[in-house]
Structure 1
Amino acid sequence: MPPRLPLRLKALSCGTLPSVSTPVAAAPVVSGIPAFLLPFLRHQPQPSQRRHASILTSLSDRPGAYNRKIRRGRGPASGKGGKSGRGSDGQKQHGKVPEGFNGGQTPEHIVHGKYGFINQFANDMAPVNLDKIQSWIDQGRLDASRPITLKELSASRLLGQIKDGVKLLGNGASELKTPIHIVVSRASRSAIAAVEALGGTVTTRFYTAQAIRRIKAGSTHPFVSMRWDVGALNNPHLAVEGAEAIENRVKAMGFRYRLPDPSSRKDLEYYRDAKHRGYLSHTVKEGEMASLYFKEPLSEEQLKALKRESAVGGRAAKRKEGDKLW
């Protein structure tokens, strides 16, 4: 700790300080002051000042760093005394007005009704735009020669938290210059058109929240599952060694957990649709639709036969009569 010495000492009041350039004799102390302090004592403009060893005891906030608390009911000089800014009597002074109270007339939620809601069952998709992907490729944070999956998007910090999946959007499509092969949960039509115009591919597949956590942890393959058919997808860029054999897919491709496939009607119909580039689009037969309720139209002969059977007195009526026990 530096010494706390007064800059003007009684010992100096009687004589003058020696020059700095004057060689100091063997005596290290002159007039009771060490020689190494003499240059600093000579050039001080205000000898009455003192130097403190630490400023930690004098730290304080800058002016305006926080709002000063309003003290109410402490006299009229503050402007908030007397009635404390609440006015004279009434409910607003003694209590609080209920939320939505508008003076006692018919409330707004009764006049106009309640509308709108928050869908708690909606999927929370993390959006990713094409211009951001191109920026990450230019920085070397994404490798366009390999498939871009949820794991690469998360590891490169392009996306932070991924809850239910990733949706590819077409914002900044004009900035995309590199062909990419990406696997996401969903994709917009503009994004699909922009990627395929450069020779890239977009594949959508089903993910769950638990599967996403396992993919990020390296416990599940990013896109190969039991119903993943590399040959039917006809995309060599997504080819994985050993994925053709069902035995390897059953064993989770060497990972700890298998990647699940959709089971609900809504998810099945989405990933069976070719316009969404779903990975189950090959399961839709020629002439059919992605809907699970699709039925082939009946021919004229089948319609006539159906009408004959359902007609009164036809085969259906005779069959019904024959089924009676008494």
Structure 2
Amino acid sequence: MAIARPSPSLKFLLPGLFLGPVRHQQSRSASIVSDLRNVASSYNKRIRRGRGPSSGKGKTSGRGHKGQKQHGKVPAGFEGGQTPIAIVHGPRGWDNKYSETMSPLNLDRLQSWIDQGRIDPTKPITLKELVDSRCLHGIKDGVKILARGKEELKTPIDITVSRASKEAIKAIEAAGGKVVTRYFTKDGIKSIVYPHLFKTPRRLANPTARKDIEYYRDPDHRGYLSHTVTEGESPSLFWKIPGPSKVGAGPQNKGAGAAQKKAKEENRLF
């Protein structure tokens, strides 16, 4: 049977009808079997111990070879048969939780940083300059200047730290410099070294413990509170300040106390 073909003059009107027989494309992937897998949340691998080396936890069942922990259970707190540390040293009193860990800074290292141009001696040296120049790799509870290499220090400096030894103070002042010791808390150190972490400038706290107050009141330590100590006064808070006693506080003021008592009685109405 002959198939009637349209006229060539009509092909430009319906081009899609004259491209030949229609072919349907396959929509299903041929590799669907290789793409099958379990749901991740529904799969739990159970460790099977003692099923041979190929099981991952086989042969010795994850306990290793020999040793006390491989043979059986070890009591909690067992220290190998020796006298336990808690009995030798006692349960408390061996670690001072109030102790401070100062970061040491020796004078020879400080002079070396000045010679290399890493620290500018014409400007005041604070904790920030010491950390930014990598002269100190982090600060714990404060910075203490020590006198190692004191004969190498030739440059006058103006430095503020937490503490300083007597020999270090003597060497810095002999070179024409100045040292001031100031109390810093951990937040205070962070606000000086990393000011970008705070939206507003932090006010540095003053010491509250007696030992800290007495240290920074002492002029020998070049403390920043030494100006509060009057002439003849001790930086210690234990001893009374020398001076005249209060009215009526001693036998030498008995007359003044009696006069005040008499004046009160005269002013009584009844």
Shorter-chain TM range is: 0.5 to 0.7
Identify which of 130, 133, 140 aligns with 2:117: 140
Task: Supply the distance in 1 between the matched residues of 2:212 and 2:100 (Cα, whole angstroms).
Answer: 11
Task: Supply the distance in 1 between the matched residues of 2:132 and 2:69 (Cα, whole angstroms).
Answer: 57
Identify which of 205, 225, 233 aligns with 1:260: 205
Give per-residue Cα distances to partners, 1:194-245, cap 9 Å, x unaligned.
111212111101112112211123469xxxxxxxxxxxxxxxxxxxxxxxxx
Match of 1:203 in 2: 180
1:186 aligns with 2:163: yes
The answer as to whether partners of 2:234 and 2:241 remain within 8 angstroms in 1 is: no
**Secondary structure in structure 1 of the residue aligned to 2:100:** coil
Q: Which amino acid aligns with 1:86?
A: K
Matches for 1:37-56 after TM superposition, within 5 Å: none
How many pairs does the alignment contain? Answer: 192
CA change 1:218–1:86 in 2 (3 A) is closer
Matches for 1:264-275 after TM superposition, within 5 Å: 264-275=209-220
The answer as to whether partners of 1:147 and 1:180 remain within 8 angstroms in 2 is: yes
Identify which of 105, 111, 123 aligns with 2:100: 123
**Secondary structure in structure 2 of the residue aligned to 1:190:** helix
CA change 1:108–1:161 in 2 (3 A) is closer
Q: Which amino acid aligns with 1:211?
A: G
Unpaired runs of 5+ residues, structure 1, are: 1-72, 75-80, 221-254, 309-314, 316-326
Match of 2:71 in 1: 93
Matches for 1:176-255 after TM superposition, within 5 Å: 176-218=153-195
CA change 1:217–1:304 in 2 (3 A) is closer
The answer as to whether partners of 1:182 and 1:202 remain within 8 angstroms in 2 is: yes
Q: Which amino acid aligns with 2:78?
A: E
**Secondary structure in structure 2 of the residue aligned to 1:202:** strand
CA change 1:271–1:101 in 2 (3 A) is same
The answer as to whether partners of 1:288 and 1:294 remain within 8 angstroms in 2 is: no
Match of 2:251 in 1: 305
Matches for 1:273-292 after TM superposition, within 5 Å: 273-292=218-237
Task: Supply the distance in 1 between the matched residues of 2:72 and 2:117 (Cα, whole angstroms).
Answer: 64
Task: Supply the distance in 1 between the matched residues of 2:140 and 2:87 (Cα, whole angstroms).
Answer: 37
Task: Supply the distance in 2 between the matched residues of 1:118 and 1:162 (Cα, whole angstroms).
Answer: 21
The answer as to whether partners of 2:131 and 2:193 remain within 8 angstroms in 1 is: yes
Deviation at 1:303, TM superposition (A): 9.3
Q: Which amino acid aligns with 2:218?
A: D
Q: Percent identity?
A: 50
Runs of 4+ in 1 over 4 A off after TM superposition: 106-116, 297-300
Give per-residue Cα distances to partners, 1:15-62, cap 9 Å, x unaligned.
xxxxxxxxxxxxxxxxxxxxxxxxxxxxxxxxxxxxxxxxxxxxxxxx
The answer as to whether partners of 2:107 and 2:168 remain within 8 angstroms in 1 is: yes
Q: Which amino acid aligns with 1:290?
A: P
Give per-residue Cα distances to partners, 1:303-322, cap 9 Å, x unaligned.
9728x9xxxxxx9xxxxxxx
Deviation at 1:297, TM superposition (A): 5.2
1:102 aligns with 2:81: yes
Task: Supply the distance in 2 between the matched residues of 1:264 and 1:110 (Cα, whole angstroms).
Answer: 33
Task: Supply the distance in 2 between the matched residues of 1:117 and 1:163 (Cα, whole angstroms).
Answer: 21
CA change 1:86–1:168 in 2 (3 A) is same
Q: Which amino acid aligns with 1:193?
A: K
CA change 1:205–1:99 in 2 (3 A) is same
User: Which is further off, 119-128 or 151-160?
Assistant: 119-128
**Secondary structure in structure 2 of the residue aligned to 1:99:** coil
Unpaired runs of 5+ residues, structure 2, are: 1-51, 54-59, 259-270
- What TM-score, normalized to structure 2? 0.58
Give per-residue Cα distances to partners, 1:96-134, cap 9 Å, x unaligned.
37533438xx76754775676222332232211111101
CA RMSD of aligned residues (A): 3.8
